């Protein structure tokens, strides 16, 4: 019998509102923190922004037709908070709701399962200015009210909900590395805002379950498994510290309801740990049990080595795409991330490690015992059009090997619901602009009409879905 994925496996692809929709001030939409951030000099690559992006807002039927042609089983997208609530709360903009009904109905009519992300980084600017957004516990009430509007409006059509996308990334980049809005460098604030994201997840899951909405709900964490560079006890200890202060720290609070003891104690001793109220503990533990699945965004692994108290600190990312600019980065006294000579790297110096995905899925499954949805996995690259074609064999190789890793993980007992690539079309890559392409569909951003071109990887993934992975697993 041929190797195939389970019949109900969700082969999908993904996007995010700010990165594709455009129409940033149309039909009553309010401004988000990203609408302001991208206009500040030097904040994004060559000043790129999402004012128009791929113009998905006006091209939704065309994009869904391409998804149907490919045969997508699922499409993961986010809902723009300020399209629904222009000021973050209060007045509801019906035109925003109508757009997402149009998108969801179009997907369902074409046999594509909508997977809705409630929040993918585009906080209403009004809430940021009023009380600092994620810095204040008021965010819990406002976010939960927003989520309830979406559940009431769409719950009969949407079976899969992701509360938050990569809360560990938007809090780290926004409050510790100052690369995303609001541009703060304060580890204590990063840990505080991350705790607030966990509370948001908890209260939204609790609301979803107590109101009896049908469907499944979780959140998506950016997960980077780590290896010790050598068997030296100092490197092995660095790996342990990485897990206690990064992977287990960010995952446990969502899916166990409490932080790992060593990691929390480490931050607490330094006056950095977030304040945990008695009511926090209760709702976090309750919601962890209620959460239906764990979303994982996987792109690369980390190789970890000893880093002394006077060691290397955090380094900025390669956002230029000039390969070979890998920089070691770390937290003094905890760990440092080093180059792995055994792996290949992308032009943005991200380690290409398909087996790291299998490894991550197995360790997450063993630790939390919940179904897993890969909500993002993909390769950013420079793609070129030649004679009307985009030959992206490097992306095909990347995706093929990661799909094989998924299959191997299922063989090791992982309950894997689906695999969503990042991304369906090319889109705005936050700090990296439009030069870093992830999609199956090339978007020519140099032309006013933004023509779409199917890449070679489009046809590859079409065949993966058609054969339920069988042809991919043969190769």
User: What CATH number corresponds to the domain at position 92?
Assistant: 3.20.20.80
Q: Is 233 a residue whose pLDDT tops 70? A: yes
For position 34, what pLDDT does the model report?
Answer: 97
Q: Is 2 a member of any domain?
A: no
Domain range for 372 is: 10-474
Nearest by Cα to 249 from 167, 317, 329, 306: 167
Q: Which residues are catalytically annotated?
A: 376
Query: What does the pLDDT look like over 151-210, one tens digit per residue?
Result: 999 999 999 999 999 999 999 999 999 999 999 999 999 999 999 999 999 999 999 999
Confirm if 187 and 172 have CB atoms less than 8 A apart: no
Backbone angles phi, psi at 190, to 5 degrees: -60, -45
For position 1, what pLDDT does the model report?
Answer: 41
Distances (CA, A) of 338 to 299, 304, 306, 311: 16, 6, 10, 13
For position 48, what pLDDT does the model report?
Answer: 92
CA-to-CA distance for 274 and 393, rounded, in angstroms? Answer: 46
CA-to-CA distance for 153 and 150, rounded, in angstroms? Answer: 5
The H-or-E segment that residue 57 falls in is none
Tokens of 419: 């695999």
For position 324, what pLDDT does the model report?
Answer: 79
Number of domains in the chain: 1
For the entire predicted model, the pTM comes to: 0.96
CA-to-CA distance for 388 and 373, rounded, in angstroms? Answer: 34
Q: What is the DSSP letter of 247?
A: I
Nearest by Cα to 212 from 151, 284, 164, 285: 151
Q: Is 3 a member of any domain?
A: no
Residue with tokens 């951030």: 37
CA-to-CA distance for 132 and 128, rounded, in angstroms? Answer: 4
Query: What does the pLDDT look like over 250-276, one tens digit per residue?
Result: 999 999 999 999 999 999 999 999 999
Average pLDDT, the chain: 96
Q: Is 127 a member of any domain?
A: yes
């Amino acid at each position: 019998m041929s190797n195939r994925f389970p019949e109900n496996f969700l082969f999908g692809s993904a996007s995010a509102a700010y990165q594709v929709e455009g129409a940033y001030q149309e039909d009553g939409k309010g401004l988000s923190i990203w609408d302001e951030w991208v206009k500040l000099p030097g904040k994004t690559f060559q000043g790129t922004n999402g004012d128009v992006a791929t113009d998905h807002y006006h091209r939704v039927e065309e994009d869904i037709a391409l998804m149907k042609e490919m045969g997508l089983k699922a499409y993961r997208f986010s809902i723009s908070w300020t399209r629904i609530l222009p000021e973050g709360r209060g007045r509801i903009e019906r035109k925003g709701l109508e757009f997402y009904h149009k998108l969801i109905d179009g997907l369902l009519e074409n046999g594509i399962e909508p997977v809705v992300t409630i929040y993918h980084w585009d906080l209403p600017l009004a809430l940021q200015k009023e009380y600092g957004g994620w810095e204040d516990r008021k965010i819990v009430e406002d976010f939960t009210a927003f989520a309830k509007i979406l559940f009431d409006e769409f719950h009969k059509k949407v079976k899969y909900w992701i509360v938050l996308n990569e809360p560990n990334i938007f809090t780290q980049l926004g409050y510790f590395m100052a690369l995303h809005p609001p541009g703060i460098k304060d580890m204590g604030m990063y840990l505080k805002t991350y705790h607030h994201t966990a509370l948001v997840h908890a209260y939204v899951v609790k609301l979803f379950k107590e109101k009896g909405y049908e469907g499944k709900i979780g959140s998506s964490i950016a997960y980077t498994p780590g290896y010790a560079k050598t068997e030296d006890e100092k490197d092995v200890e660095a790996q342990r510290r990485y897990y206690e202060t990064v992977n287990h720290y960010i995952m446990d609070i969502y899916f166990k309801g409490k932080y790992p003891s060593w990691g929390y104690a480490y931050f607490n001793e330094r006056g950095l740990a977030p304040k945990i109220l008695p009511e926090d503990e209760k709702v976090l533990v309750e919601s962890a049990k209620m959460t239906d699945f764990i979303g994982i965004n996987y792109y690369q692994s980390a190789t970890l080595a000893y880093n002394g108290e006077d060691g290397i600190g955090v380094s900025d990312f390669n956002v230029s795409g000039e390969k070979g600019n890998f920089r070691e980065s770390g937290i003094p006294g905890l760990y440092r991330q080093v180059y792995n000579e055994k792996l290949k790297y992308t032009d943005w110096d991200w380690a290409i490690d398909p087996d790291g995905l299998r490894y991550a899925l197995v360790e997450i499954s063993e630790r939390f015992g919940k179904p897993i949805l890969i909500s993002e996995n993909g390769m950013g690259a420079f793609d070129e059009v030649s004679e009307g074609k985009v030959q992206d064999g490097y992306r095909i190789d990347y995706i093929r090997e990661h799909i094989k890793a998924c299959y191997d993980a299922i063989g090791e007992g992982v309950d894997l619901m689906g695999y969503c690539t990042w991304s369906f079309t090319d889109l705005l890559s936050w700090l990296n602009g439009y030069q870093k392409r992830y999609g199956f569909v090339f978007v020519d951003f140099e032309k006013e009409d933004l023509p779409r071109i199917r890449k070679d990887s489009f046809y590859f993934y079409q065949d993966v879905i058609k054969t339920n992975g069988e042809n991919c697993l043969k190769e």
